[in-house]
Chains A and B, each alone.
Chain A
Amino acid sequence: MSAFTGTRALIRFGVRRARVRMLVWILGIELLVVFTAVSVKDLYPTPESLAKVAALSKDNVAAIVFNGPAQALETLGGQIAFQIGSFGLIMVGLMSIFMLGYFTRVEEENGRTELLLATAVGRHAPLVAACILVTAMNVVVAVLVAGSLAAMSLPLAGSIAFGLSFFVLGLVFTGITAVAAQVTENTRVVYGSCAALVAVSFVLRAVGDIGDGRLSWLSPIGWSQKLRPYAGEHWWALTVPVAAAALTLAAAWLLTERRDVGAGLVQPRPGRSTAGPSLGSPLGLAFRLQRGSLIGWSLGLLVLGGTYGSVGDQIDQFVEDNEQMADYFAAYGGATLTEAFFTTTALMLALIGGGFAIQSMLRAVAEESTFRAELLLATPVSRTAWVGSHLVVAVLGSVIVLGLTGLGTAVTYGIIVQDFSSLPRLVGAELTYLPAVWILTGVALLLYGLVPKAALAAWGAYAVVLISGILGDVLNLPEWLRGLSPFERTPALPANNFEFLPVAVITAVAVVLMAAGLASFRRRDTPA
């Protein structure tokens, strides 16, 4: 029996098991690209309008930080590639990470791989099948993206290059995740470390793209953008990600032979034989369970905030003698350009932080579905105290996460300009978004309290808020739809002044949602 025996059967089995998941990722990314492309086409129908926006964007540090290097922005293809930018690549990276983890480490942690390897299945078959499945997904994404862009009469070579830029990024993160899945036996660590690498890739290329672009060569997202779709393709740039993918996949292959099934290369350390003093209440437990995730989110957003803070002073230099930019930022009502920049970044960081607020609250869903909640609810812990413990972590945790990211922005900016007078205002700008973030927590809690199976729909609400915040202008979303997002209703500091009323109203809505969520959880069966 060879090490590959059963690979084909495992691939068929994988498709059968994960078809919905696979379809959602593939169509989600394809639709994101198509909608953005169509909107950009509508928004800038003439070469003149394209030239105008290109002139605006190429010196706009905020836009470059979020989207990528300014490459041929005066062409429709270049502008589309810029607008989908890093966001699309991040989605492809996350798809590869979560799908590969799903096919490998999750299966192993649940003991299902053992079941398969006991049959006529080779030692390497599960990993090989998983890599083939995820690579196939990336191929489908690339073909759909390239095909739909070419169908919109965009240049064929550029469309192919754009599809390939997605494909190779997916390939690189498939390889990275395959290695991580061999090193640790813990699925959460696999996801966390790989997602952190996506964040680092994003930050490295953001810093690189603002400067001379050299730093971007350290980032897989940067590699994909160096391919320059629609901007005089540099096909040779493909060699770097392909080589990286080959290296990581080979490493994963070798590591598979050096570890036991079910274990990682790194053995878990023994734990404590008695519990520390904090582990004596539902709240203590909830903090303990979410500690790793809270630290991860805090560090990630701290670094991201710091990155934005470190480029804040360059805005003025960029725009000093650029009238169009001045016009663009005039929309912010006479605020300085630096303020306008930090207003945009504050919103972005708060939107990302909203992800923590939902993930943290939804921890309760997993606790209940694995019957661990039952162990606690059979002790003298009330339902409100139990679900409330995760609510408190979500609410206080989001204060920490947003506070730190604001602090990261403010402190690095302060260091660069040698003046910390704007620190309170920059941190305040971030904290003003807290009630909006809490609404996301409230929505998650209410859904969970009513129908726990539907609680994951909170991610749908998050996607709407995220897309409306990041791509709202590009997609030309209707006003009423954008108005649904609490982030749009929050006073946008520091360019605008703090207003008490909207913040109070948003807070009140969040409190009502949470109270309703708690009340409905008290009434229903567990497990429902």
Chain B
Amino acid sequence: MTVTIELEGLVKTFGSTRALDGLDLSVGEGTVHGFLGPNGSGKTTTIRVLLGLLRADSGRATLFGGDPWREAVTLHRRLAYVPGDVNLWPKLSGGEVIDLLGRLRGDLDNRRRTELLDRFELDPRKKARTYSKGNRQKVALVAALASSAELLILDEPTSGLDPIMEAVFQDCIREIKAEGRTVLLSSHILAEVEALCDGVSIIRAGKTVQSGTLTDLRHLTRTAITADTVQAPTGLDQLRGVHGLQVDNHRARFDVDTDHLDEAMRALTKLGLRSLTSQPPTLEELFLRHYGDELARDGVALESAEEVAR
């Protein structure tokens, strides 16, 4: 598989702050890649390095096999970008901004533009001054989605959208993926990443702490099992990889390390299964695991944090 984005050991400092501290990121062509991390972890800085707006102090950054700083203009022909905090020119209408950005990129598809304005329910005649945050974001999204760029770089693109527009956005990304185009999606909305992304990278304090496909990552964590059995479920506590076992008459609840799921299933089958629900680990659990100590330090119990995240 061709690699569209490749970052290795990226370091960027602002004065005494180390915004990126050896960050790695690899995004294959035709994939949708989730880029996760709390506020201030370096997501936007990474994107700005990718766009050739910031120059990294050390490390290697490759975009379409080229140098994002030196070949910025040529590389930008092949990508579209939606910033996290969309500021528009107050005097221009939304339609004018979409056309301007499309013409600068040189690949505005008018049919698609009309269709997207319709789907996102955006009035292109309103002056940008009068748009809400969500509507400004829609302007930037329509401008990016109406292009035929090979790569979309989206920095928290849906933070101001309502749930209906979120669904429209997800549809659009699926279509883009179906066309074989690549998306780098920085997001806080884990459900969105889970719904759209093939792979994710979780970063923290300017470093990549976890990276891989969602399936890979799930292997690193536990599946939640609830089972009703014919025989009383005994001996489950003897199994390897089982945690937090609760037995209530013929019902057993436990978490099991994904590596030991098979053994647990066999044991349950022997007990005679009446019903079984298994819940794969959510991204929230993955994410919170990496920030668990931070949360604990802040006095938040992991359980309740998970509730909040949901």
Contacts and interface: CB of A to CB of B under 8 A. Distances in A.
Interface of A: 109, 185-186, 268, 270-276, 279-282, 285, 288-289, 292, 370-372, 374-383, 525-527
**Among B85, B103, B153, which residue has the most Cβ atoms of chain A within 10 A?**
B103
B127 A271 contact: yes
Contact of B126 (A271, A281, A380, A382): A271
A273 B93 contact: yes
Contact of B104 (A272, A288, A376, A527): A376
Contacts of B76: 378-381
Nearest to A185: B129
B127 A377 contact: no
A288 B124 contact: no
A271 B93 contact: yes
A281 B104 contact: yes
Contact of B85 (A186, A274, A275, A371): A371
Contacts of B89: 285, 289, 372
B172 interface: no
Contact of A375 (B52, B72, B83, B96): B83
Contact of A270 (B92, B105, B125): B125
A292 B92 CA distance: 13
Contacts of A276: 96
Nearest to A268: B127
A379 B105 contact: yes
B73 A275 contact: no
B100 interface: yes
B101 interface: yes
B92 to A, nearest CB: 7
The 6 tightest CB contacts between A and B, nearest first, are: A271-B93, A275-B99, A378-B81, A280-B103, A379-B104, A270-B125
Contact of B105 (A272, A279, A380, A383): A380
Contact of B83 (A279, A281, A371, A382): A371
Contacts of A372: 87-89
Interface of B: 48, 51-55, 72-74, 76-77, 79-81, 83, 85-93, 95-96, 98-101, 103-106, 124-127, 129-130, 140, 153
B104 A377 contact: no
Contacts of B124: 273-274
22 contacts: A185-B129, A268-B127, A270-B127, A271-B93, A271-B96, A272-B96, A272-B125, A273-B125, A282-B104, A289-B91, A370-B87, A371-B87, A372-B88, A374-B51, A377-B51, A378-B53, A378-B80, A378-B81, A378-B153, A380-B73, A380-B77, A525-B48
B71 to A, nearest CB: 11
Given A270-B127, A271-B93, A274-B99, A377 B77 contact: no
Given A272-B125, A289-B89, 4 more contacts: A271-B92, A371-B83, A382-B73, A383-B72
A525 B54 contact: yes
A289 B125 CA distance: 17
A188 B105 CA distance: 30
Nearest to A524: B55
A377 B72 CA distance: 9
Contacts of A281: 103-104
Nearest to B144: A378
A452 B127 CA distance: 28
Nearest to B93: A271
Nearest to B75: A380
A275 B77 contact: no
B95 A380 contact: no
A270 B140 contact: no
B87 A275 contact: no
A280 B91 contact: no
**Among A268, A274, A285, which residue has the most Cβ atoms of chain B within 10 A?**
A274
Contact of B129 (A268, A280, A380, A382): A268
Contacts of A525: 48, 53-55
Given A268-B130, A380-B76, A279 B96 contact: yes
Nearest to B14: A525
A441 to B, nearest CB: 22
Nearest to B103: A280
A186 B129 contact: yes
Contacts of A109: 129
